[in-house]
Structure 1
Amino acid sequence: MRAIRRAVVSAVVLALLVLAGVVLWGALRGKPQDLPWTPLDLGAPVGAATGRKLAALGEDTPRCRALLEQAGVRYTALPARRPAGEAQCGYDEATRLTPGGARRIALAPANVGTSCPVAAAMAMWEWNVVTPAARRAFGEPVTRIEHFGSYNCRRMYGRDAGAFSEHATANALDIAAFRLADGTRISVVGDWNDTGAKGRFLREVRDGACDLFATVLSPDYNAAHRDHFHLDQADRGAMSWRACR
């Protein structure tokens, strides 16, 4: 029992030290987006606390949608979906990003609905990561992001048992490829191992997604993700582990 108590105390102390370090860092840099208690602004630069704040929006969809509107992001609120006999699946307040407004990149297919935190993170990913990375790598903007979908009532990896995937509640989106204004296509499956601009671009946008999504899985994770980036907003708490592979 003593060993367990010592381990618990050590974990609490470590968590407090990490929090204190983040607070001090944010205060010294003078950037509110680095501090966990400041309000989230989708139009602000990405900070140390931005990803946590985005994931936490899952507990407050009205606030999430208000932030989308404040940032000029157009969306459609989708009706609830609760499949019979599948208590672990479905959603009550999914959001579909629509063309126009402050966003310039289309999603293909366009009719995808996700949780609001995923939609908010997608907007910030476009502005802060995807667009500048494409400009640096190709001198062209990305005009379309291709995906494999969001909602899918299934367990992780399609297994018959075990935990349900974040896709089961539309809290994830699988990104397959990017299309530039000049027609160039950069795909995860075809260009991840490219040693030139396409490969560098894919790694840059994957790494940038890690600051905005709770979980980012790429071909570096396992063979099941060889052809896409899995992006989700599973909120595991302020001091929890986040996945970025």
Structure 2
Amino acid sequence: MSEVRRIVTAVLIAALLLAAAFALYAWVKSRPQDLPWTKLDLGQPIGLFTGRKLTGLTQDFGQCRRLLDKAGVRYTVLAPVEAGASCGYRDAVRFASGGARRIGFSPANLGVSCPVAASLAMWEWNIVQPAAEKHFGARVTRIDHLGSYNCRRMYGRDTGDYSEHATADAVDIAGFRLSDGTRVSVLGDWKNEGAKGAFLREVRTGACDLFATVLSPDYNAAHADHFHLDQAERGESGWRACR
């Protein structure tokens, strides 16, 4: 009798393992973006490793451009800027009108590194527009920003590490304009207890799944009027900041 029990137990274990394997296969097939080894696709939903893959594009301008092209993002490539050992860029693009990216930027002609552009596109599609529809029943038509490229050290100091702005790998977002005329600003509405505040907190937190660094008014007074979004490379540790 004990031998029969062992056989039955073995069969049950095998059946459970087979069922688990089929479940894992189905999950992998339906959520490839959740795996570290699958290729990045800007048109896919945000996955567990999407942010790290976007940051990794800083090493491959050609691949970044191919991803933008595939996703239907229209852009122009900016001429390289050489400004010393710590400043300048060779992978910057400027969004063009039309295409899959419908949100405009103010001031116009925003130029950012390609990985930041790819991240902004995914942020729009997956986070910003759904949040606007949820909280206002309207769409974001324009994003107000405080710029990207700026050859300076962090916080404008005379010494210390250079900012990600020094290589166009960062952008500062100040507010949003909606299709119904609503305007939402980080400075004026971060502490709002209604829809505006909820919207800002949602798009801030959502950005953390895409950018290496997200700094908001919750971080310090220097960010009271904007979200700092960047794609900083941090070596093998790849640590990310969301504050």
Provide the TM-score with structure 2 as the length reference: 0.87
Letter in 2 for 1:54: L
1:202-234: CA deviation from partner (whole Å, max 9, x where unpaired): 000000000000000000000000000000001
Structure 1 residues 26 and 141: alpha-carbon distance in aligned structure 2, compared to 1, 3 A threshold: farther
Q: Which residue of 2 aligns with 1:144?
A: 142
Bigger radius of gyration: 2
Residue 193 (structure 1) aligned with residue 191 (structure 2): yes
Letter in 2 for 1:73: V
The SS at the match of 1:73 is coil
The SS at the match of 1:70 is helix
Letter in 2 for 1:156: M
Q: Which residue of 1 aligns with 2:33?
A: 33
Structure 1 unaligned residues grouped into runs of 5+: 1-24
The SS at the match of 1:149 is coil
Shift of 1:29: 3.6
Q: Which residue of 1 aligns with 2:45?
A: 45
1:96-127: CA deviation from partner (whole Å, max 9, x where unpaired): 11111001110111211111000000000000
Q: Which residue of 2 aligns with 1:109?
A: 107
Letter in 2 for 1:65: R
Q: Which residue of 1 aligns with 2:200?
A: 202
Taking the aligned partners of 1:182 and 1:104, their CA distance within structure 2 comes to 16
Q: Which residue of 1 aligns with 2:120?
A: 122
Q: Which residue of 2 aligns with 1:61?
A: 61
Taking the aligned partners of 1:95 and 1:123, their CA distance within structure 2 comes to 13
1:35-90: CA deviation from partner (whole Å, max 9, x where unpaired): 1110000000000000000000000001000000000000000001113xx32111
Shift of 1:93: 2.1
Taking the aligned partners of 2:90 and 2:79, their CA distance within structure 1 comes to 7
Aligned-pair RMSD on alpha carbons? Answer: 1.4
The SS at the match of 1:143 is strand
Q: Is the 8 A contact 1:154 1:165 kept in 2?
A: yes
Taking the aligned partners of 1:157 and 1:96, their CA distance within structure 2 comes to 25
Aligned residues: 219
Percent same amino acid among aligned pairs? Answer: 68
Q: Which residue of 2 aligns with 1:15?
A: none
Structure 1 residues 144 and 151: alpha-carbon distance in aligned structure 2, compared to 1, 3 A threshold: same
Taking the aligned partners of 1:134 and 1:201, their CA distance within structure 2 comes to 7
Taking the aligned partners of 1:72 and 1:237, their CA distance within structure 2 comes to 31
Letter in 2 for 1:226: A
Provide the TM-score with structure 1 as the length reference: 0.87
Taking the aligned partners of 2:87 and 2:208, their CA distance within structure 1 comes to 25
Shift of 1:237: 4.0
The SS at the match of 1:234 is coil
**Residue among 169, 182, 187 paired with 1:184:** 182
Structure 1 residues 69 and 29: alpha-carbon distance in aligned structure 2, compared to 1, 3 A threshold: same
Shift of 1:239: 4.2
Q: Which residue of 2 aligns with 1:159?
A: 157
Q: Is the 8 A contact 1:133 1:205 kept in 2?
A: yes
The SS at the match of 2:96 is strand
Q: Which runs of 4+ in 1 moved over 4 A?
A: 25-28
Taking the aligned partners of 2:229 and 2:89, their CA distance within structure 1 comes to 17
Structure 1 residues 126 and 138: alpha-carbon distance in aligned structure 2, compared to 1, 3 A threshold: same
Taking the aligned partners of 1:198 and 1:133, their CA distance within structure 2 comes to 10
Q: Which residue of 1 aligns with 2:7?
A: none
Taking the aligned partners of 1:38 and 1:204, their CA distance within structure 2 comes to 27
